[in-house]
Amino acid sequence: QIEAIASSMKRSFHLYEKAKEVIPGGVTANIKYFAPHPIIMERGKGSRLVDVDGNEYVDYLLCYGALILGHGHPKVIESIMRQIITDGTTVFGAPHMLETLMAKKIIQAFPSMEMVRYTNSGLEATLLAIRLAQAFTGKTAIAKFEGHYHGGYDQVLISVNPSVTEAGDEKEPKAVPESKGIPPQYTDETIILPFNDVEATEAILRKHKNRLAAVILEPVQGGFIPADAIFMKELRAITKELGIVLIFDEVKTGFRITYGGAQTVYGIAPDLTALGKVLGGGFPIGVVGGKKEIMEQMDPRRGKDALSIETDKANKGDVLFHSGTYNGHPTVLAAGLATLDVLQQPETMPRLLQMTNMLREGLEAVYRAYGIPMKTVGLGSIFNIVLTEQDVKNYRDLTKANMKLREEIDYELLGHGVYTKPGNRYSMSVVHTEEDIAWTIEAHEKAIRKVKNR
């Protein structure tokens, strides 16, 4: 597979060699690396990416799901230009009107939210949500699910992709750190739960209830493995009973699964929600939203001497600190508001879901024709190709699929103009066309044939 992509990617290879000299591994996020070298991109347009060698791809990575309108959507470009030109600044560094406008739009779409705060990334949003829960409950431990990703910081960079041998019993998985440099107290203070297993989850939560501030989860694991409806219902009931804050990490699913989030589809209200990706219209954003009584812990007026100019005299103990130079950035919000406008047009979401299903069905038919056990797993406009015939309900199920074959096919696909990081999920945009879908299905067929003939 290495030779197959190398011959058409000489310039990428050359530029990557240069990047490596000044950037560790030549990538600005570890996940952007893949062997033999990542492909260096030059241009984007709608559903397509063009690399520095002039190869064109139908893009299904879509900046890890963020680009629901595809690359350079005219409404987004127009909105950010208007913001910069009419406001006369790229950033106010002070409150401005788009902040409240966007807050209201989010709250309308997410009935569980009464208030919101902005951050600059999904990672910061889940971090803030966890701190809010810890302050609110006065407890310090959290529980997360095996295989769920919430950002790359110490508290949650645990058991995202652990070796099954290390993680042990699937009914009571061990906490396995995913990086060097995570101090051991985090693996003590982060309890790991098995997704979609009501009984085992309940047993672990009861065992640790006195020290658990929060349960955080991706209601749709990795954006593609949906929680069972009954599992969600039970999880809501038990966290309520035990006084544990329930946090939905909808960074991936927010405004992607539907206009709203997984919570809209399931009809379950978490206490706090983290959003990001789609909401930034291709720019960095994160949002935390939820119940007023939890969110108001951040109200700076809660300081006893908040009016004192001698701020060091303010009673900091009553206020939860949250800050960020670029929080509520106007250009980002302008891009996000334009994105929501397009998503709210009545034909947009149904078409997006219809196109996603068309692609899923087409791909399933190809793999079936070649006798490869495969299913597409997903909800809304994200899905993944899992090479298995078994049910896929959680992380352990994924580890049983044929990942090696999947990656071999994905490498071939890169040579046939279908872009996603090998092994990654497929995200769709509203600008993907029937032609893109036909191209993608044909590319899979060619890739499968090539791999089978090896």
The one catalytic residue in 60, 149, 266, 367 is: 149
Q: Least distance in Å: CB of 257 to ligand PMP?
A: 12
User: Residues 6-17, buried b or exposed e (16+ Cβ, 10 A)?
Assistant: eeebebbbebbe
Task: Give the three-state DSSP class for 115.
Answer: strand
Q: How far is the CB of 276 from ligand PMP (least distance, A)?
A: 5
**Which residues, numbered 192-251, are part of the site for ligand PMP (CB under 6 A)?**
218, 249, 251
- For 178-244, give the DSSP string: SSTT--THHHHHEEEE-TT-HHHHHHHHHHTGGGEEEEEE-SEETTTEEPPHHHHHHHHHHHHHHT-
Pick the closer one to ligand PMP by CB: 121 or 356.
Answer: 121
Convert residues 362-401 into a mask of x (bound to ligand PMP by CB under 6 A) and - (unbound).
----------------------------------------
Among 64, 136, 224, 426, binds ligand PMP (CB under 6 A): 64
Positions 100 through 159 that interact with ligand PMP (CB under 6 A): 121-123, 126, 149-151
Q: Binders of ligand PMP: how many residues, by CB under 6 A?
A: 13
Report the residue closest to ligand PMP, judged by CB.
122
Catalytic residue among 277, 375, 393, 421: 277
- Please state the length of the chain: 454
Nearer to ligand PMP (CB atom), residue 247 or residue 294:
247
**Residue among 51, 59, 197, 249 flagged as catalytic:** 249
Q: Is the dihedral of CA 447, 450, 452, 454 positive or negative?
A: negative
Compute the half-sphere exposure of residue 45: CA atoms within 13 Å on the CB side of its CA.
5
Across 295-406, the runs of DSSP E, i.e. the strands, are 375-379, 382-386
- Smallest gap, in angstroms, from Cβ of residue 152 to ligand PMP? 7
Largest CA distance in the chain: 76
- Minimum CB–partner distance for residue 149 and ligand PMP (Å): 5
Q: What are phi and psi of 377, to 5 degrees?
A: -120, 125
User: How far, in Å, CA of 332 to CA of 341, rounded?
Assistant: 14
Output DSSP code: residue 71: B
Say whether 249 is catalytic: yes
Comparison of 68 and 443: residue with beta carbon closer to ligand PMP: 68
CA–chain centroid gap for 422, Å, is: 17
CB of 222 to ligand PMP, least distance (A): 8
Minimum distance from residue 22 beta carbon to ligand PMP (Å): 23
Reading phi first (left if > 0) and then psi (alpha if -120 to 50, else beta), residue 267 is in left
CA distance linking residue 318 with residue 322, whole number of Å? 13
Of 439, 425, 441, nearest in space to 62 by CA: 425
DSSP 8-state secondary structure symbol assigned to residue 177? B
Figure out which of the listed residues 37, 105, 252, 421 binds ligand PMP, where binding follows CB under 6 A: 252
How near is the Cβ of 95 to ligand PMP at its closest, in Å? 23
- Whether 277 is catalytic: yes
| Residue 158, SS3 per DSSP | strand
Nearer to ligand PMP, 278 or 413 (CB): 278
H/E stretch holding 398 reads: helix 395-399
- Name the strand (E) or helix (H) holding 49: strand 48-51
Shortest Cβ 124–ligand PMP spacing (Å): 7
Asked if 276 interacts with ligand PMP (CB under 6 A), we say yes
> Pick from 61, 375, 378: which is nearest to 225 by CA?
378
Q: Of 121 and 263, which CB lies nearer to ligand PMP in the complex structure?
A: 121
Residue placing its CB nearer to ligand PMP in the complex, 136 or 145? 145
309: three-class secondary structure by DSSP:
coil
Whether the CB-CB separation of 299 and 148 falls below 8 Å is answered with no
State which residue, 251 or 340, has the beta carbon closest to ligand PMP: 251
User: According to DSSP H, which parts of 23-56 are helical?
Assistant: none
Nearer to ligand PMP, 197 or 249 (CB): 249
**Which spans of this chain sit near ligand PMP (rule: CB under 6 A)?**
64, 121-123, 126, 149-151, 218, 249, 251-252, 276
Provide the annotated active-site residues.
Answer: 149, 249, 277
